[in-house]
Amino acid sequence: MTDRETTADAENPEKGLKKGVTNYGDKEFSLFLRKAFIKGAGYSDDALDRPIIGIVNTANDYNPCHGNAAQLIEAAKRGILLEGALPMVFPTISLHESFVNPTAMYLRNLMSIDTEETVRAQPMDAVILIGGCDKTVPAQLMGAASADVPAIQLVTGPMLTGSYEGERVGACTDCRRYWGKYRAGEINAQQIADVNTRLVSSIGTCSVMGTASTMACVVEALGMMTPGGATPPAVTADRVRIAEQTGRYAVQLAKHGLRPSQIMTGKAFENALRVLLAIGGSTNAIIHLTAIAGRLGIEIDLDQLDAMGRETPVLVDLKPSGQNYMEDFHKAGGMVTLLRELRPFLHLDTLTVTGRTLGEEIDAAPKSFPQEIVRSVQKPIYASGGLAVLRGNLAPQGAIIKQAAATQELLEFEGRAVVFESLEDMAERIDSPDLDVNADDVLVLKNIGPRSGTGMPEAGYLPIPKKLARAGVKDMVRISDGRMSGTAFGTIVLHVNPEASVGGPLAYVHNGDRIRLSASKREISLLVSDEELERRKRAKPITPPTVERGFQRLFYDSVTQADAGVDFEFLRPKVMTDKVPKAR
């Protein structure tokens, strides 16, 4: 830590076990009672007089992405003890994308509330947030931003790659690639069963630049993670050492009172967005960064993000935009190798959890060495705009496309709409031999947005209709108001806003309508007149889904659209105080 930060003692003299005692009307008795109960666990007065560092435990038998959480907790505790503080482990919700119904996104905000309230409720001077699978890291940072207690993120790390018939494979881009081969009849049932056992060869998050890896990288750029902490695989000694160092930094954060709001500034979010573009990262990260920033009163300007994208090349050669895997990125030096290349584009004066600036951390890191995973600005994977923001009468408030993972010939395209009204409708008809669909059509899926009652699933990656897949079709233009896994690839327009369920123009697309996509013009347009659109709206008023109780009712009543992060409106400040990226 440096002298840049003032300690929190003057603002909050109550620290450690004295912090936030339960209110029985007698403060001294409250502390007496608290100490009496915790001593039942064998703690001494000496231990209880030290700073307390909370550690969020998201271990869960349903969550193999967090399968190393116990090991990381022990290493973090070691780092905390070496710095003379007291570690305290506590659980929160744990979310795994493949095991949560209807989707982990549906429960992200609940996990953020769980994180915020447990951090607020229990005595801790700083907290270590252990997360990995897609929605856990944003949920934790959303909660930490709202609680504004000193916090540091520790990710579980990516899995190792496997092999199938001599080919290197990893989740989950290769999951989708092989499933596409199976649907197309290129491999049989035994082969798809065999590859199923090879795709995930260890615990950890997806081994490609999916949402989990994307969030790890952008959080390191944001300054909320131990430098070098984004890329070490889950099962390596490097990952354990990062956990120990995270424990040490957490104690320093507690001593100096450096809070998330002091680290996650507007300029820090600009750095994170720059890295998102340069890694060819997940479209989900736009929603997540918007939600995290929104908790701090910072608005993400989609048009300026697009302008930033036009000048930011994709430099990291990882699937789905490239060919390699996260363990290769780690061996290439990890995030500092990329940050050095991006240095002219970054705000180097932003603070990190070390108490030093991003620029100081880059300077202090080991020197770079020859490697081929992180390209130079002069020889990028994709020249500019790995992600692009589209607008038009089909998405007046914006939509997103991941150009770097698309079929380039389809980025300038006009075709006939083949419409599915819901997930159920798509499941029932997509593989029907009678489906009226051709390779030069546009697949449209409605009613999977935030307020649709589906939880905004990663269903935007519509499958190629089986009869076309078996004819050799590998990609089509696909449009929805839902999301797509960061591991997916294809010419896919997502987050169409406003969504169909609230009466957005997407609701009124008919079979046979013409749709135009122009990535160069940042356009997504329904080629019908304004008068015809209005006629369709009058003829078919939107009836919102009926939700009677529980968290689903809370979600439906409170959730925002994609451009506001799909967060709950009441968890965001009433007035935004900053807007990024700034125009250059």
Cβ–Cβ < 8 Å for 469, 369: no
Around Cβ 61, how many Cβ atoms within 10 Å? 9
Q: Is 565 within a domain?
A: no
Dist. CA 296–CA 576, nearest whole Å? 8
Tens of pLDDT, residues 78-127? 999 999 999 999 999 999 999 999 999 999 999 999 999 999 999 999 99
Around Cβ 398, how many Cβ atoms within 10 Å? 23
Residues 229 and 352 in one domain: yes
Tens of pLDDT, residues 468-482? 999 999 999 999 999
Q: Dihedrals φ, ψ of 207, to 5°?
A: -85, 5
Residues 356 and 393 in one domain: no
- Res. 384 pLDDT band, cuts 50 70 90: confident
User: Which residue's entry shows tokens 């991941």?
Assistant: 402
Tens of pLDDT, residues 322-357? 999 999 999 999 999 999 999 999 999 999 999 999
pLDDT(220) > 70: yes
Does residue 306 sit in helix, strand or coil? helix
Q: Choose among 339, 345, 294, 388: nearest CA to 579.
A: 294
**pTM of this prediction exceeds 0.85:** yes
Q: Given 3-state DSSP classes, what are the helix, strand and coil percentages for the chain, each rounded to the nearest 5?
A: 40, 15, 45
Residue-range definition of the domain harbouring residue 187: 163-196
Q: Is 373 within a domain?
A: no
pLDDT(44) > 50: yes
Return the pLDDT at 13: 61
Q: Choose among 571, 576, 574: nearest CA to 555.
A: 571
Hey, what are 541's tokens?
Answer: 């008023």
Cβ–Cβ < 8 Å for 488, 395: no
Q: Choose among 433, 487, 492, 486: nearest CA to 463.
A: 492
pLDDT(367) > 80: yes
For the chain, how many residues are written?
A: 584
Residues 93 and 191 in one domain: no
Return the pLDDT at 545: 77
pLDDT(56) > 90: yes
Residues 418 and 444 in one domain: yes
pLDDT(12) > 90: no
Dist. CA 203–CA 50, nearest whole Å? 34
Residues 148 and 250 in one domain: yes
Return the pLDDT at 471: 96
Q: Is 120 within a domain?
A: yes
Return the pLDDT at 6: 40
Residues 259 and 359 in one domain: yes
Total structural domains within the chain: 3
Residues 138 and 265 in one domain: yes
pLDDT(4) > 60: no
Element (H, E) at 426: helix 423-429
Tens of pLDDT, residues 120-149? 999 999 999 999 999 999 999 999 999 999
pLDDT(202) > 90: yes
Domain final residue, candidates 364, 396, 427: 364
Q: What is the mean pLDDT of the chain?
A: 95
DSSP letter assigned to residue 570:
G
Hey, what are 428's tokens?
Answer: 């029932």
Element (H, E) at 392: strand 387-392
Dist. CA 263–CA 152, nearest whole Å? 10
Residues 250 and 172 in one domain: no
Looking at residues 486-510, what average pLDDT do you find? 96
Q: Is 582 within a domain?
A: no
Residues 260 and 304 in one domain: yes
Angle value at C-alpha 80, between 79 and 84, nearest 5 degrees: 115
- Res. 244 pLDDT band, cuts 50 70 90: very high
| Alpha helix stretches (DSSP H) within 40-134 | 45-48, 69-82, 104-121
Percent of the chain at pLDDT > 90 equals: 94
* Strand ranges (E), 16-169: 52-57, 86-91, 126-131, 151-155, 162-164, 167-169
Residue 262 makes CB contacts below 8 A (sequence gap 6+) with 5, 351
Q: Which amino acid is at 494?
A: L
Q: Is 143 within a domain?
A: yes
Around Cβ 327, how many Cβ atoms within 10 Å? 20
Q: Residue 25 maps to which CATH number?
A: 3.40.50.2300
Residues 444 and 494 in one domain: yes
Domain final residue, candidates 364, 395, 424: 364
Beta bridge partners of 416: 441, 514
Q: State how far the alpha carbon of 327 is from the alpha carbons of 15, 207, 220, 405, in Å.
A: 40, 7, 17, 20
Residues 170 and 59 in one domain: no
Q: Residue 443 maps to which CATH number?
A: 3.50.30.80
Residues 482 and 427 in one domain: yes
- Res. 2 pLDDT band, cuts 50 70 90: very low
CA atoms within 13 A on the CB side of 244: 8
Could you write out the DSSP letters of every residue in 430-496?
A: TT-TT----TTEEEEE-S-STTSSS---S--SPPPPHHHHTTT----EEEESS---TT--SSEEE--
Residue 481 makes CB contacts below 8 A (sequence gap 6+) with 446, 447, 448, 449, 452, 495, 496, 497, 499, 500, 501, 504, 506, 562
Cβ–Cβ < 8 Å for 540, 529: no
Q: Is 456 within a domain?
A: yes
Q: Is 563 within a domain?
A: no
Q: Is 103 within a domain?
A: yes
Residue 184 makes CB contacts below 8 A (sequence gap 6+) with 464, 466, 469, 470, 472
Dist. CA 91–CA 155, nearest whole Å? 16
